[in-house]
Amino acid sequence: MKSYKNLKEEVWDTNRCSGCGACVAVCPVNNLYFREESPVKFECDECSCIIVPADIVEHPISAEFCKTVVYDVPCGACYDACPRIKKSAIPKPKGLGNILKAVRAKASIEIKNAQNGGVVTAILANAFDEGLIDGAIVMMDDKWTLEPESYLALSKEDVLKSAGSKYLWKGPILKALKTAVMEKKLKKLAVVGTPCVINAIYQILSSDNDLLKPFREAIRLKIALFCFETYDYSKMIKKLNEDGIEPWEVKKMDIESGKLKITLINGNTVEYKLKDVESAMRNGCKVCGDFTGLTSDISVGNVGTEKGYSTVLIRNKWGEGFFKRAVYNGYITYDENVDLEAVEKLVELKKKRVKKD
């Protein structure tokens, strides 16, 4: 039976961890955590345990009471939930993947802080209104500090508050998954995240591990966000401060044409070439070749359409149903004027970066 030690060997120690938090969320004894959640760790011998400062690492840490390791109890939940183990269920990135329909879309409802077309928020808002979902895992950030956190939206109003893309990482987005499934007992859950997050959900859905069954039964919709890379919160805030920018001055961030574009609340913009902020990029991003989220039901991003719209890749009938219902109910308008070549260019660019590294 696999344990976190196998996960450590294959993923953590090889700098492949994306920081999605799937392993932390599904651990039945809360053995795993990220340093950002607790700056200390335990070191144990046969007689006692002591608390010491946690190492500065980008992967989870064990609290050293894994029942598989200590008592040989069958588990393996953390290992089986990780999309980056050697024999994962994740298909290798290949072009744009399966697409039923590609469209240009925007929300028809008012969404404050919408990143571009506001399509993801509109789909979730309609789903809540119709009772298609009973929860949605999204990211929320503090508009004053830009600190992001995993957020369990339980209503239309909650998802409207969480609108807007987040490019900073300070904790796993799937942290809220355990709360949603094991505490709230939700049964119709939507998950929104970058490709690595959606791959983790796909991995869970593909697993036959009995301990993952409650999670498999609870997840209803997977929405992926186009992603080239994400940035460590502390490192990016330090970079901004060095350039005289306070977190509260930032209105939104976008990655466009090979640049990180930061729009300030006064209307000014600051642009960085991606290579100039590479030091803030998480190590796990460097091994990811999936730009659009191939294992999602719906993929959404700002590449391939003009400002104010979103490119939407509907990947299966399940995703098509959620999208069409939002359209029929007046939450979204769309047409087929989308530039897929622009999306394909970034898909290939991201794959080339992985091969180069």
pLDDT digits (tens, 9 = 90+) for 7-25: 999 999 999 999 999 999 9
Query: Is residue 38 helix, strand or coil?
Result: coil
Alpha carbon of 303 to those of 11, 69, 228, 262: distances in Å? 30, 46, 11, 16
Q: E strands within the chain? A: 32-33, 40-44, 49-53, 61-62, 101-107, 135-141, 148-153, 168-169, 189-193, 219-225, 231-232, 250-256, 259-264, 269-273, 298-301, 310-314, 332-335
For 232-271, the pLDDT digits (tens) are 999 999 999 999 999 999 988 888 777 889 999 998 999 9
**In this structure, what are the phi and psi dihedrals at residue 255, rounded to the nearest 5 degrees?**
-110, 115
In 181-321, where do the E strands start and end?
189-193, 219-225, 231-232, 250-256, 259-264, 269-273, 298-301, 310-314
The top-scoring range by mean pLDDT among 2-6, 109-113, 185-189, 249-253 is 185-189
For residue 250, what are the β-bridge partners? 264
CA–CA separation, 248 and 260 (whole Å): 18
Collapse the DSSP code of 84 into the 3-class scheme (helix H, G, I; strand E, B; otherwise coil) and give the result: coil
CA distances from residue 54 to 4, 37, 223 in whole angstroms, order as listed:
17, 11, 33
Confidence check: pLDDT of 42 > 70: no
| Residue 95 neighbours by CB distance under 10 Å | 13
- Residue 27 in tokens: 């651990």
Q: Is 51 helix (H, G, I), strand (E, B) or coil?
A: strand
Place of tokens 């340093």: 35
Looking at residue 41, its pLDDT comes to 63
What's the CA angle centered on 138, arms 288 and 4, to 5 degrees? Answer: 55
Provide the token pair at 271. 């642009």
Q: Is the distance from CB of 133 to CB of 120 less than 8 angstroms?
A: no
| pLDDT score for 159 | 92
C-alpha to C-alpha distance for 69 and 9, rounded to whole angstroms:
14
Asked whether residue 190 carries a pLDDT value surpassing 60, the answer given is yes
Stretch 96-112: mean pLDDT: 91
* Residues 106 and 117 sit within 8 Å (Cβ to Cβ): yes
- Contact (Cβ atoms closer than 8 angstroms) between residue 31 and residue 37: no
Contact 334, 105 (CB under 8 A): yes
Structure confidence at residue 52 as a pLDDT band (50, 70, 90) = low
Residue 75's contacts (CB-CB under 8 Å, 6 or more residues apart) are 1, 3, 28, 66, 67, 68, 211
pLDDT of residue 221: 98
Burial of 294 (0-12, 13-18, 19+ CB in 10 A): buried
The pTM of the whole model exceeds 0.85: yes
Residue-averaged pLDDT of the chain: 91
CA distance 127 to 135: 10
Q: Name 33's bridge partners.
A: 61
- The predicted-structure confidence for 62-97, as pLDDT tens digits, reads as follows 888 888 888 888 999 999 999 999 999 998 878 899
Q: Which residue in the block uniquely carries the two structure tokens 């571009």?
A: 116
